[in-house]
Amino acid sequence: MRYFDDLLALFFPRICPACGNSLWKHENCICTSCEYYLPETGFHKDPGNPVTDLFTGRVNTEAAAAWLYYSKGGRVQRLIHALKYKGRKDIGVHMGFLYGQALKDAAGFNNAITVVPVPLHKKKYMKRGYNQSEQIAIGIGKAMNIPVDRHLLLRDRATDTQTRRSRYDRHLNVENVFRVPFPEKHAGMHLLLVDDVVTTGSTLESCILALGAIPDVKVSVACLASAVL
């Protein structure tokens, strides 16, 4: 079996999607060096962080944070690109688990009882075959030992990409596109809303407004990366 694995690695080498180098046998989906040098924000330790500021005065959150800094051409962008467009669901689960280990001891996050991924519209879900935010949510849920509910929040309308849109246009693009089918069923819950990258917060704001239909709900926000402008 060992020789077969070595032969397989020769013809189909396992490559770190962040740097392009070959992975060692003991390494998961990201090489040890890239994982060590991931640009962590520490936002989950700071109640007044830039992600929280996006929602202040607009919607109510218990806490909001992003784990990594997102920069064009950087490790994090390459990882998220592979997660979203190269079928690398394992990246989302692995990085979500690492993030969840930090969140399980962080005030404002550690009392959440259910993880809710930002949903894709069913057409995009069928085309891609999975929801990248759900993969991150699965990893976070495993680390925090709480369930993931992908049906709690639904997306009723497909929207164009948010890339290169102004903040106002982003807000209009996702206005009233989410809903909670059975809000009373989730009354009093503390939900952890999860997405891949936060920029202006428009999509998350729309999600939080929809979750507001749940009586006495509490919402915290956890994004894998922050590209806050």
109-134 pLDDT tens trace: 999 999 999 999 999 999 999 999 99
| Single-letter amino acid code for the residue at 105 | D
pLDDT digits (tens, 9 = 90+) for 1-34: 444 444 444 445 899 999 999 999 889 899 999 9
Fold for the domain defined by 38-226: Rossmann fold (3.40.50)
Q: How many CB atoms lie within 10 A of CB 71?
A: 12
pLDDT band at 66 (very low <50, low <70, confident <90, very high): very high
Distances (CA, A) of 154 to 82, 84, 110, 128: 25, 19, 24, 17
- Tell me the residue ranges of DSSP E strands in 144-228: 154-155, 178-179, 190-198, 218-226
How far is C-alpha 159 from the geometric centre of its chain's CA atoms?
Answer: 19
Taking each helix axis from N to C end, the angle separating 132-144 and 89-103, rounded to the nearest 10 degrees, works out to 40
User: Rounded to an integer, what distance in angstroms lies between the CA atom of residue 78 and that of residue 70?
Assistant: 10
User: Rounded to an integer, what distance in angstroms lies between the CA atom of residue 78 and that of residue 27?
Assistant: 18
- Please report which helix (H) or strand (E) contains residue 65, including its range: strand 63-69
Taking each helix axis from N to C end, the angle separating 132-144 and 75-85, rounded to the nearest 10 degrees, works out to 110
pLDDT at 167 over 80: no
User: Rounded to an integer, what distance in angstroms lies between the CA atom of residue 131 and that of residue 63?
Assistant: 23
- Identify any residues that bridge with 115 across adjacent strands, giving them in sequence order: 148, 192
Domain boundaries, the chain: 1-37, 38-226
How far is C-alpha 86 from the geometric centre of its chain's CA atoms?
Answer: 16
pLDDT digits (tens, 9 = 90+) for 197-228: 999 999 999 999 999 999 999 999 999 999 98
